[in-house]
Amino acid sequence: MPTLQDITDRIRAAVGNHPGLGKTLKLDLKGQGCVFIDGAAVSNENMPADLTITISPDDLLAMAAGRLEPAYAIMVGKMQCSDLGLLMGLEEPLKELISRIP
């Protein structure tokens, strides 16, 4: 299982100098910690965010590799989000970000 540091490093590399999503995002990694993304800043701070996605590290990496579709993950309970409308509005930039996680 990937560690919180592994996931954080991968997300930090994926974000790079990208201007961000226009909203703050917290990835709650189901008891492993969290990754907070605010523009190009990536940390492990557990802060309130515009959108919180709860997903296991393994499922996040499966999604990044294209082995798990976000809609399917939500339907079967592998992924939860705090605001489905916001998630849908950010669908394309989130897919792009997640696809850049090696």
Domains with residue ranges and CATH for the chain: 4-94 (3.30.1050.10)
| Chain segment 24-69, per-residue pLDDT in tens | 999 999 989 999 999 989 999 999 999 999 999 999 999 999 999 9
Mean pLDDT of the chain: 92
Q: Indicate the angle between helix axes 4-15 and 57-64, nearest 10 degrees.
A: 30
Percent of residues, the chain, with pLDDT higher than 90: 70
Query: CB burial class (10 A; 0-12, 13-18, 19+) of residue 12?
Result: middle
Higher pLDDT, 60 or 16: 60
Angle in degrees, CA 44, 42, 81, rounded to 5: 70
